[in-house]
Structures are given as structure tokens and as C-alpha cells.
Amino acid sequence: MKTDHEQAFEIFNETLSNSDLFDHVEFKKVAGLPFVHLTVKDRVERNEIEAALKQCAAKAMRGKRLTLAMSYVRKNQALQVYRVRFLVPQRKMFCCGNLCDDCIRFTDP
């Protein structure tokens, strides 16, 4: 059974590959970090690319407790490179005393 994180990346890859803005989509891991290499069609602005990435990520994260961390890396002619990560929320291991809503004291053992 796949984790939410793995499912999110699969859905993200699928929806991004089906987008009309991109000719080619390739995922690469460098030093353990995921990068998306996008070959864009002519006359596509950076804000349109980022909006499409966020929309595809939102579809992938729907129903899961994940957040998106995306950053622009570089551009080489028609190739755009972004670092895209889905962050999994960390659970608290102890009570910090700040009366947090997700305090470890309120969870079942």
C-alpha cells in the first residue's frame, strides 16, 4: 500500500504530464530532492507555469494532510526547473506547555 506522499507524487506527475502548457515533463531526484524539468511551449509566462504547478499539486494533495513547497531553480531556453516537495506534517512527541490544539495530551494512546 502506498503512502499519501507517494500517491500525491503519482497524481501530480500524471496531471502535470496531461497539461497543455508543457511539451515534456521529467522528474529527477538530485541529492535526494525531487526536481521537475519542464519543457514549455512557446509564449508561456513564468506565472502561468507556477499557477499550473500549484493547480496540479492541489489536485494531488486533495484529501491528504500535505503541504506544497515549491521553488524556482533555473531556466535554460525552453527548459524550466522547479524543486517541488510535498511536506508531511510532523507529529509532536511531547507537550510543550503552550496549550496547542494538536497537543500530544489529547491523543489516544
DSSP state of 39: E
Confidence of residue 109 (pLDDT cuts 50, 70, 90): low
Residues 46 and 42: their CA atoms lie apart, in Å, by 12
Confidence of residue 5 (pLDDT cuts 50, 70, 90): confident
The H-assigned helical ranges of the chain are 4-17, 46-61
**Cell, residue 101:** 490544539
Residues 81 and 33: their CA atoms lie apart, in Å, by 13
Cell numbers 507529529 correspond to 91
Q: Is the pTM of this model over 0.75?
A: yes
For 14-30, what is each residue's pLDDT tens digit?
A: 999 998 888 999 999 99
Residue 107 has pLDDT above 70, yes or no: no
pLDDT at 74: 93
